[in-house]
Amino acid sequence: MARTVHDELRDRLAHARLGGSAEAREKVSASGKLLVRRRLELLFDEGWSFEDGLLARFDEGLPGDAVVTCFGRVDGRDVAVVANDFTVKAGTWGKRTFEKIVRTQEIADETGMPLVYLFDSAGARIDEQFESYAGRRAWGNIFYNQVQMSGRIPQVCALFGPSPAGSAYVPALCDYTVMVRGHATAYLGSPRLAEMVTGERVTLEEMGGAEMHCTTSGLGDCLVEDDEEAIAAIRVWLSYLPSDWRGSPPAVDARPPGSARTVEEVVPLSESEVYDVHELIDALVDEDSFFPYKELFAPELVTGFARLGGRSVGLVANQSVSRGGVIFPDSSDKAARFIWICNAYNIPLVFLVDIAGYMIGSEVERKGIIRHGAKMLFAVAESRVPRIAVLIRKAYGGGYLAMSGAPMRPDAVIALPTAKPALMGPDAAVNGIHYNRIQAIADPDERKRFIAEKQAEYAADIDVFKIANENAVEAVVPANHLRAELIERLHVYRRRPATGAARRQAITPV
């Protein structure tokens, strides 16, 4: 029987879905990575709705031009996906690759659905630069679109392998980036290029490895061990977000906290005693609902999504076990970006405040603590979603403002009985007030006794009930009632419109 055009189509589709050669597929699998279509199977609920451009450049031996662009459902919601196929010319970008990516971006934005980038690419093809680099229709359109879509639809990226040079800006422009340890890399110039230009000798992992980016540069938001864990992280991240900026985050059935300890048991009475704020979070939020953001980067500040009564919230919490929970330049940046994400997608913010202030000293001043600290203040003041500050213990100085203190106009400031709000702590205050007298005391023991006496007097004067008496907080609540108080207040505050200031463009600190 003669072959028909239908037979030809079936053969071409089947061959194109395989991607590259058998040898290329075997090499990818042998490296410990999943093939692109297996990643998609793990991401989507079941199958996917449709795929665009499968036969692009098929006749040139580059099926799909090394990228799969498709649409499916995650937890029942429509999601668009751009996924590199490393078996086709190492997933590089060609003259049809960017067309497919750009069209998928446009559809996602126009229809209001999250966009997931599954990246595993050796970058742009130099031999196709004249068709793809310059002009108004070029690789750069991808980045332009990412900026236009920012805050309109969630953009999430998983790096399974390389993302060099210009393509490294895709994860940087996404809301959330997952990186696979030992496989993912992102860098503007390779180690070989760096050695040619600067003489520096460095390994690929040191230059742009997953662990470095998740702990040091801050590019990576989540470090995982394999492809399966990366896909699972994306699914969890999306579960806290609406499909686009106009919607509300999906609600789930409420669960009681999973911690065996209560909030009162977790929080020490002494402000000098450290504790792990994760224990407080576990005692406060729905069981197993906390999902950290940039967990390995600037750990003195804990950020992440959780659920209270089945509803999404964003948590910003000082971590006293890490550098005393003081705010540094990196933690300022981390907080600002997380606050912007929550504000973009209608996720209320809860600040768990136990802060001595911003870090001081010449080293952090040279690193721009004022400039970076202003970024956090800016993000807090600019946010319009429901916002509650909970004074756990210390709430000193500029740190109090950065953590959404009352002058930053949150919907409410709630204090626990252990709260100690003040301009500064006893040590700094006594030194500032009594400096000359302290210096005049020659006897070391007498000086020590004097300082201790004055510190005790100052500390005794920091009283949560005094600020409550002045109506400087909305409520002082029993520690074990905090969860219920937050749930009820957020229920009310979600009713108001989240309208920002009237202007074309705020001048954000950098």
**Is 282 found in the same domain as 205?**
no
Domain contains 468: yes
User: For residues 264-296, b (16+ Cβ closer than 10 Å) or e, as one string?
Assistant: bebbeeebeeebebbbbbbbbbbeebbbbbbbb
Same domain, 354 and 484: yes
- Are 311 and 451 in the same domain? no
CA–CA distance, 47 with 162 (Å, rounded to integer): 26
Q: How many domains does the chain have?
A: 3
Residue 187 falls within a domain, yes or no? Answer: yes
Query: Could you tell me whether strands 67-74 and 50-52 are parallel, antiparallel, or unpaired per DSSP bridges?
Result: antiparallel
Give the CA count within 13 Å in the CB-facing half-sphere of 26.
3
Residue 221 and residue 275 share a domain: no
Say whether both 455 and 404 belong to one domain.
Answer: no
Digitized pLDDT (tens) for each residue of the chain, 510 residues in all:
788 999 999 999 999 999 999 999 999 999 999 999 999 999 999 888 899 999 999 999 999 999 999 999 999 999 999 999 999 999 999 999 999 999 999 999 999 999 999 999 998 888 888 887 788 888 899 999 999 999 999 999 999 999 988 789 999 999 999 999 999 999 987 777 777 777 778 888 888 899 999 999 999 999 999 999 999 999 999 999 999 999 999 999 999 999 999 999 999 998 889 999 999 999 999 999 999 999 999 999 999 999 999 999 999 999 999 999 999 999 999 999 999 999 999 999 999 999 998 988 899 999 999 999 999 999 999 999 999 999 999 999 899 999 999 999 999 999 999 998 887 666 666 565 676 777 878 878 888 788 777 766 666 667 899 999 999 999 999 999 999 999 999 999 999 998 888 898 889 888
Token digits of residue 449: 């006794």
Q: Most distant CA pair in the chain: distance in Å?
A: 109
Q: Say if 249 falls within a structural domain.
A: no
Pairing mode, strands 50-52 and 420-422: unpaired
Q: Collapsing DSSP states into helix, strand and coil, what is residue 269? A: coil
CB 103 within 8 A of CB 139: no
- 316 in a structural domain: yes
Q: Does the residue 510 lie in any domain?
A: no
Measured CA to CA in angstroms, residue 258 lies from 100, 255, 490 at distances of 45, 8, 21
131 with 158, same domain: the answer is yes
Evaluate whether residue 282 is within a structural domain: yes
Statement to judge: residues 325 and 199 lie in one domain = no
The amino acid present at 354, given as its one-letter code, is: D
* Token digits of residue 264: 């009162």
Answer yes or no: are the C-beta atoms of 122 and 90 closer than 8 Å. yes
For residue 432 the two structure tokens come to: 């500032």
Same domain for 210 and 305, yes or no, is no
Tell whether 203 and 294 lie within a shared domain.
no
Q: What are phi and psi of 179, to 5 degrees?
A: -130, 135
Identity of the residue numbered 100 = K
Q: Which of 188, 206, 239 is the last residue of a domain?
A: 239
Same domain, 482 and 418: yes
- Residues of the domain holding 160: 5-239
Residue 472 covered by a domain: yes
Assign residue 381 the CATH number of its domain.
Answer: 3.90.226.10
Write down which residue in 239, 273, 299 finishes a domain: 239
Decide if 62 is inside a domain. yes
In this structure, are 380 and 406 located in the same domain? yes
Q: Are residues 274 and 389 in the same domain?
A: yes
